[in-house]
Structure formats: C-alpha cells, structure tokens
C-alpha cells in the first residue's frame, strides 16, 4: 500500500501583505538559511517589509491544503544583461520539507519561463543538504566559501550552486517523458 502524496493539495500564491506575519516569524527561526534577507541579522519589524522586497522580482508563498503558509520562494537580483539571477526557497525544514521540492520547481519554471535567464544561482549553508536537491533538479556547486558562518557552535561553509537553463530544459523534458 502506498503512502499518501505529501505534496497533494499544496498551493503556491503570490506573496501578499497578509503573509507578513508568517514571513517575519519564518525569518526569525531560519536566519542562517534565508541569507538574502538575514545576512546582516533579522531586520527589525518596522523595516522588514521593505527588506523583504529589496531587489526581489517575484515572491511566492506555498500553502498547505488547509491554507496555512509553510514556505516562501523568491527570484531576486536579476542581471538581465548577463542572463543571471538568484533564487531562495525557505521553509521550516523540520515540518515542511515536502513543500521545498514543488516550491523550487514552480519558481524555476516561473523564472525561466518569463525572463531571458541562462543561469540561476542559489546559496545554502553546508550544515544540511541543499534544499534544492528535493526538487530533483541538477544544481551544480560553483563555489564554496569555507567557514563562512557561525551556527550551533561551529563555522559552516556557504555553498553557492547554480542551474543553467539547458539543465532545466533537459529536466523538464525528462519529467514529461516519465509521465507518459
């Protein structure tokens, strides 16, 4: 007997003002993973909304079947001249790891489908596996910043990964062929 699909019923919506409470609480608990927003520490509440949107092209909230916000994804710091941008996908990994894969796939599809990008970068601390590996998309390690951040009593490396449009296109084609 197969277990139920934990991603069934997930909904991904554009981020709105009603999500600020969730987003601030999430940022307060995952500051080491939400590097774009918290690299200099958690912004104070009165500066949070501005910081949340600084350099951001689009941002989405993933919701559980009951409508509860469980993850956030963003496309930011686009450089269209060079065809590059950055993505973040952040959720409470302990409770909602199943949301990270579909959220990443949605964001990649949206980014590559709407902008002339050739490569998207992502970054994470090496204290956990890449959150993007849950999506099954082949992100390549492009850089490792040794002993970059102090967390839980030790220094951790920050890993910079990237996925090229060609990799995304191949992944999409293989996914479509597997569904037939």
**pLDDT, tens digit (0-9, with 9 covering 90-100), for 124-145:** 877 766 767 767 788 899 999 9
Average pLDDT along the chain: 84
Report yes or no: 60 and 95 within 8 Å, Cβ to Cβ: no
Domain span at 121: 11-179
Strands 84-91 and 119-125, by their bridges, are parallel
**136 in the Ramachandran plot: left (φ > 0), alpha (ψ -120 to 50) or beta?**
left
- Is there a domain that residue 26 lies in? yes
| 3-class DSSP string for 38-91 | HECECCCHHHHHHHHHCCEEEEEEEECCCCCEEEEEEEEEEECCCCEEEEEEEE
Say if residue 114's pLDDT is above 80: yes
Q: Does 3 fall in a domain?
A: no
For residues 26-54, average pLDDT: 79
Q: Comparing 82 with 27, which gets the higher pLDDT?
A: 82
CB 131 within 8 A of CB 96: no
pLDDT at position 4 is 47
User: How many domains is the chain partitioned into structurally?
Assistant: 1
Which comes out higher in pLDDT, residue 91 or 115? 115
pTM of the model: 0.85
CATH of the domain at 52: 3.40.630.30
In a domain, 4, yes or no: no
Residue 180 clears pLDDT 70, i.e. is over it: no
Q: What pLDDT score was predicted for residue 131?
A: 67
Instruction: For residue 5, tell me if it sits in a domain.
Output: no
What whole-number distance in Å separates Cα of residue 36 and Cα of residue 79? 16
């Amino acid at each position: 007997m197969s277990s139920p699909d934990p991603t069934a019923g997930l909904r991904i919506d554009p981020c709105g003002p009603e999500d600020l409470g969730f987003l601030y609480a999430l940022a307060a608990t995952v500051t080491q993973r939400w590097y774009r927003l918290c690299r200099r520490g958690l912004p104070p509440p009165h500066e949070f909304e501005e910081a949340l949107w600084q350099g951001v092209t689009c941002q989405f909230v993933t919701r559980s079947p009951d409508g509860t916000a469980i993850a956030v994804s963003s496309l930011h710091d686009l450089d269209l001249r060079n065809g590059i941008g950055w993505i973040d996908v952040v959720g409470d990994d302990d409770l909602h790891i199943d949301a990270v894969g579909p959220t990443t796939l949605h964001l990649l599809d949206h980014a590559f489908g709407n902008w002339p990008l050739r490569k998207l970068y992502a970054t994470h601390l090496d204290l956990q596996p890449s959150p993007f590996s849950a999506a099954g998309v082949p992100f390549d390690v492009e850089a490792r910043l040794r002993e970059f951040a102090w967390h839980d009593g030790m220094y951790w490396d920050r890993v910079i990964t990237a996925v090229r449009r060609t990799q995304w296109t191949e992944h999409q084609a293989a996914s479509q062929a597997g569904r037939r």
